[in-house]
Amino acid sequence: MVPGILDLHENPFVEASRELVDLVSQHDFPFQLYYHERTLKEWRDTLDVIRDHLAAVRWRQDLSRAAVLSGRLTGVELRFHQRNAEKPIGCGSSTGTLTGA
């Protein structure tokens, strides 16, 4: 659910998760939301694979615009291409992050 809340992944439960986070924040309920270590590791591993995939190609802005218009992307790849279509960015290394170019 964490990637969905961050608008990096789509699934049917994202809206309910966002509503839960908003509800806890707005009404100051006496509990805190947590995530499991394995969830974080899984998400980091997933991001590494996506980053390596994106870094394998030099994405020109016109290619990113076409990728966005295709309607076939979701999540991290869609966000990357949306940003790259506006201003060229890099993918960094397998241990890095998306970076401005």
pLDDT 10s digits, 18-72: 888 888 889 988 888 888 899 889 889 988 999 999 999 999 999 999 999 999 9
10 or 83, which is more confident?
83
Q: What is the pLDDT of residue 35?
A: 83
| Structural domains in the chain (count) | 1
Q: What is the pLDDT of residue 58?
A: 93
Whether pLDDT at 95 is above 50? no
1 or 97, which is more confident?
1
CA distance 73 to 29: 36
The single-letter DSSP state of residue 99 is E
Dihedral sign (CA 81, 82, 87, 92): negative
Q: What is the pLDDT of residue 96?
A: 43
CA distance 67 to 35: 32
Domain of 25, in residue numbers: 2-100
